[in-house]
């Protein structure tokens, strides 16, 4: 989820890279493009690690609703910078009305 001033990413780490290394690679690959648009990464990053059998749904919902809560788009629009793999979207969108959040979710 790309927001005007930050990024949300739900990722599963493999065996080779630690989270810090993964973020470092992301920033390295995108920094030049961002700089041409007058944007730069902050030095650090903030994470929320899901542990063991912790449910991903509340985190996914928080990320998904972020642009709606910030009034960056209306309930009748889909945020254009939300990207999700097909399998995860199929799992999540069963809760949605026409791929948009139900009004009661926006009151959370």
Structural domain spans, the chain? 19-107
Tens of pLDDT, residue by residue, the chain (108 residues): 888 888 898 888 888 989 999 999 999 999 999 889 888 888 889 988 888 888 888 888 888 889 998 999 888 888 899 888 888 888 777 766 666 666 666 665
Residues 6+ apart with CB under 8 A from 86: none
Its pTM stands at: 0.73
Q: Note the pLDDT of residue 76.
A: 82
DSSP per-residue codes, 37-72: TT----S--------TT--SHHHHHHHHHHHHHTTS
- DSSP H or E segment with residue 75: none
């Amino acid at each position: 989820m790309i927001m005007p001033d930050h990024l949300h990413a739900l990722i599963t780490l493999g065996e080779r890279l630690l989270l810090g290394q993964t973020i470092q690679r992301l920033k390295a690959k995108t920094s030049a493009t961002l700089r041409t648009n007058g944007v730069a990464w902050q030095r650090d990053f903030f994470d929320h690690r899901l542990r063991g059998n912790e449910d991903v749904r509340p985190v996914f919902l928080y990320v998904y609703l972020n642009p709606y809560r910030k009034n960056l788009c209306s309930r009748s629009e889909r945020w254009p910078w939300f990207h999700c793999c097909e399998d995860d979207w199929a799992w999540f969108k069963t809760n949605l009305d026409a791929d948009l959040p139900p009004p009661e979710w926006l009151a959370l």
